Amino acid sequence: MSALSAPDFDFVSSLAYSQAAIILEPGKEYLVEARLTPLAQREGFTDLSAFIAAMRKDRSPGPLQAKAVDALTTNETYFFRDFHPFDAMRRALVPELIEKRADSRKLTIWCAACSTGQEPYSIAMLLREHFPQLASWQIEIIATDFSPTVLVQAQAGRYNQIEVNRGLPAPFLIKYFTQQNGAWVIKPEIRQMVQFKALNLVQPWPILPPCDFVFIRNVMIYFNVETKRAILKKLRLCLRPHGSLFLGSSETTLNLDPHWAPVTQGATVVYRPAPAAAAAA
């Protein structure tokens, strides 16, 4: 039986929704307990219900509430996750843009919901490894997330052995990381290619430069249909012509936003603004 009372669960799920649009349906009590109990202990509370009682008195959104929502985010990620999107970039999408952007010599990539940084660093390593001709281009990789905790690790570019064993080819580990006190730290040449910033996808976005690639993978699964639609609509304004939107392998724009068209690229699907006529149909 759950140690979490129904009113306490309702309070926490309303908080997660109001702050980050994260949906916690009934049945997720175990997840709330698993994520908030260690936080409650670290904050010096005797148990989870005492912590939730204190959060109820916190101003909204107060420091305890902010820490709780941060702890409720799911941060699962790994290097070159799902492989095929990166393969499509290497084989087709980056070569296409090298041609299309030959005049401006500038590429801008946004990783929305970057978690601990493996996704933007994978992109940076891919560009560095396979496209030496981009060395003289302006490459901007903007990586954002809601969670301050993941951004601290992402910014440090510091990973343990298990993290570098997940998805990172051994030659990349040797070439782009150094070992420091038992951890693997990304080299400055890759670290400097990525700018990390806090950004909550369900609050007004700061001004972002027009992007050639937007990665927004494995985050909209936590949102309801209205939130997904609102984000997909805003993303339409972010992409430059010939740019591509990448979603997670279980995510799609289908039945959400007809203004995006799926484009099969090798073994993956990317999304591009649909031709106006099709979108209006």
Ligand X SMILES: C[S@@+](CC[C@H](N)C(=O)[O-])C[C@H]1O[C@@H](n2cnc3c(N)ncnc32)[C@H](O)[C@@H]1O
Asked if residue 76 binds ligand X (CB under 6 A), the reply is yes
* Alpha-carbon gap, residue 242 to 102, rounded angstroms: 13
CB-nearer residue toward ligand X: 113 or 139: 113
The verdict on whether omega for the bond into residue 61 sits within 30 degrees of 0, i.e. cis, is yes
- Residue from 150, 190, 220, 274 binding ligand X (CB under 6 A): 150
Asked if residue 248 binds ligand X (CB under 6 A), the reply is yes
The structure tokens 């996750």 sit at: 81
Q: How buried is residue 178: exposed, middle or buried, by Cβ count under 10 Å (0-12/13-18/19+)?
A: exposed
Shortest distance (Å) from residue 265 CB to ligand X: 18
- Residue from 8, 145, 163, 251 binding ligand X (CB under 6 A): 145
The HSE-up count of residue 219 (CA atoms within 13 Å, CB side) is 26
Asked if residue 164 binds ligand X (CB under 6 A), the reply is no
- Residue from 128, 217, 228, 259 binding ligand X (CB under 6 A): 217
The structure tokens 């985050």 sit at: 219
Asked if residue 18 binds ligand X (CB under 6 A), the reply is no
Amino acid letter for position 197: K
Asked if residue 33 binds ligand X (CB under 6 A), the reply is no
Name the 3-class secondary structure at 247: strand
Q: Which stretch binds ligand X (CB under 6 A): 26-34, 46-54, 102-110, 112-120?
A: 112-120
Q: Tokens for 43, please give them.
A: 């904050």
Asked if residue 64 binds ligand X (CB under 6 A), the reply is no
Closest CB to ligand X belongs to which residue? 77
Asked if residue 67 binds ligand X (CB under 6 A), the reply is no
* Alpha-carbon gap, residue 154 to 47, rounded angstroms: 31
Amino acid letter for position 103: D
Residues forming the site for ligand X (CB under 6 A): 20-22, 73-77, 81, 113-115, 119, 145-147, 150, 200-202, 217-219, 222, 248
